[in-house]
Amino acid sequence: MDRAVLDRPPVDAARAILGATLVRVDARGRRAGRIVEVEAYAGPEDRASHARAGRTERNTVMFGRPGIAYVYLVYGMHDCLNVVTGPADSASALLIRAVAPSDGVDLMRAERLAWLAAHRRKVEPDAIAREADRLARLPDVRLASGPGLVAAAFGIDRSDTGTDLFDPRSSLRLEGPFGAVAADAISVGPRIGVAYAGSPWAERPWRFAIAGDPSVSGSPATR
DNA sequence: TTTCCGATCCCCT
DNA sequence: GGGGATCGGAAAA
């Protein structure tokens, strides 16, 4: 069963999940894309992990079985999707940082627009209009080229926490192929935005991406 | 091109 | 009450 591929330490699971398909199916339609960038987070010993303070109400699903979704809110604005990995109960997880859209791009664009409407309150209307205009002209490959953008494009928020991503009945799920990206096609580097964790955790080379894919966050001309 | 900063709100060394 | 697993627009250079 596919779940077994994530029932291993997060660094190994990270390499295996690259190239797999993230799928959302709901009343609005179907969206899908290829996972092209992830970060590995270990358990409580990892000072960059949300499990660093031990088990809390927020992170409780991390202390469970592989293949479960953990979604959190960062900077008061953006939801981020994680997938719990093995070993079971180790509180390890993968942050899904970027997806290359393959299906439902129009719906993703609509969802991104809906996100703007829902989250921009005190921003001046002109600025919101400019953001919407930029979104309309955004290339498909950049619709989910960052962790907050993955959530916006797929309509993911904290209510998705606890979803079994390997249950074919789930609205949000993971499909193969797993382990399909060769090691020499994967670029490796330190995780983004974890300086607060200090050494050696901030320097751990636990960010993995499909080398050269234009949907990877920070790709040229993304900004 | 690089750096800076505001938005926005939940979580808890 | 401080600050964040981010994003995008504005300012600086």
Nearest nt (C1') from A91 Cα = C5
In the structure encoding, which two tokens stand for residue A24, read together?
A: 């959302």
DSSP state at residue A60: G
Residues of chain A with pLDDT under 70: 221-223
The answer to whether some atom of strand B lies closer than 7 Å to the beta carbon of A137 is no
Whole-number Å distance, CA A157 to C1' B11? Answer: 16
A126 touches strand B (CB under 7 A): no
Dump pLDDT digits (tens) for A48-90.
999 999 999 999 999 999 999 999 999 999 999 999 999 999 9
A49 CA to B4 C1' distance (Å): 27
Longest C-alpha distance within chain A, in Å?
A: 50
Rounded to two decimals, the pTM is 0.97
pLDDT at A220: 82
Does nucleic acid strand C have an atom less than 7 angstroms from the CB of A147? yes
